[in-house]
Amino acid sequence: MLNSNNVRRLALEVGFDDCGVARTNALTDDEYPLRSWLSKGWHAGLSYMERNVDKRMDPRLLVPGAKSVICCVSAYPPPSSRGGVAAYARTREYHKVVKDMLFRLRERLGIDGKLCCDTVPISDKHWAARAGLGFIGRHTLLVTPRFGTWVNLGEIVTTEEIEIVAIEETKNENSKTASLLPGQDNPSSPDPHAAFCLKCHRCIDACPNHAIAPDDPPMLDVARCTSYYTTHHPQPLPVGLDAGGYTQGCDLCQLACPFNHRQTPKN
């Protein structure tokens, strides 16, 4: 039987920067408060989020008989300056790059599985968190210990059963990657990074539009996030919103996040 270390080793070989495996039991409302977010109307004009809610929570409805979600991380360069075009908007071609790597990984593994990269109703970041690759910060993005939030994600949902084992890092990795973060098989150990986040407020304070919920669980009011107007649904900004010097997207909440400054933050 494949194990998560074999899968991760091959994922690194095809070009990913990290990889983990999650079991397919449905995400709980605590892990992914999708229904609560929708009920607040905070998805604004992203009406597609109202569809396939059950599939977004349970990949077994996407791929009948699915047993594992292989979650892959591809890091991109942090922005070198503030303003203008946001870092992720500069990586528009990433769909193709990530999909190519997923395709090669599936081939190398010799398994069947559905490749997911943005166009499939599955929440990449919540599955990556389930797989132990990071946690969901208050700004609602996946925070990885090595690359912060500057990552693209992709998955293979497969009927293959994969044993989840402790991560063994390769010689070339000079990080504490997943070893600092509890995976699914270790749910009781506290995540020191997520615990830090609960006491931090920096992204909330950095958002000029008060788009980030100040309380748990992490949630974002899309109608107040300028990125929505400049990338997802291009249209003029409503009066009263401040783009913070960005013409496309916005990095302000990510730039405020201490996990994007490479060193483990201190309270």
Q: Give catalytic residues, as residue numbers.
A: 118
Q: From CA 208, how far away is CA 124, in angstroms rounded?
A: 27
125 binding ligand SF4? (CB under 6 A) = no
Q: Of the two residues 181 and 207, which places its CB atom closer to ligand SF4 in the complex?
A: 207
Give the Cβ contact number of residue 142 at 10 Å: 22
| Comparison of 15 and 84: residue with beta carbon closer to ligand SF4 | 84
The answer to whether residue 43 forms part of the interface with ligand SF4 (CB under 6 A) is no
Please report whether residue 250 would count as binding ligand SF4 according to CB under 6 A: yes
Cite the DSSP H helix spans in 14-70: 34-40, 53-57
How many degrees, rounded to 5, is the angle at CA 232 between CA 227 and CA 238?
55
- Cβ within 8 Å of residue 146, ≥6 positions away: 17, 18, 75, 175, 176, 177
Site string for ligand SF4, 192-221 (x = CB under 6 A): -----x--xxxx--xx-x-xx-------x-
Greatest CA separation for the chain: 57
For tokens 């992490």, the residue is 218
Closer to ligand SF4 at the Cβ: 14 or 87?
87
- Quickly count: other Cβ atoms within 10 Å of residue 188's Cβ: 5
Closest approach, Cβ 128 to ligand SF4, in A, equals: 15
Could you give phi then psi for residue 146, rounded to 5 degrees?
-95, -35
Residue 113 binding ligand SF4, by CB under 6 A: no
Q: Does 105 bind ligand SF4 (CB under 6 A)?
A: no
CB of 70 or CB of 255, closer to ligand SF4: 255
Judged by CB under 6 A, the chain residues 126 through 145 that form the site for ligand SF4 are 137-139
Instruction: Confirm or reject binding of residue 253 to ligand SF4 (CB under 6 A).
Output: yes
Q: Which residues lie near ligand SF4 (CB under 6 A)?
A: 137-139, 197, 200-203, 206-207, 209, 211-212, 220, 225-227, 250, 252-253, 256-259
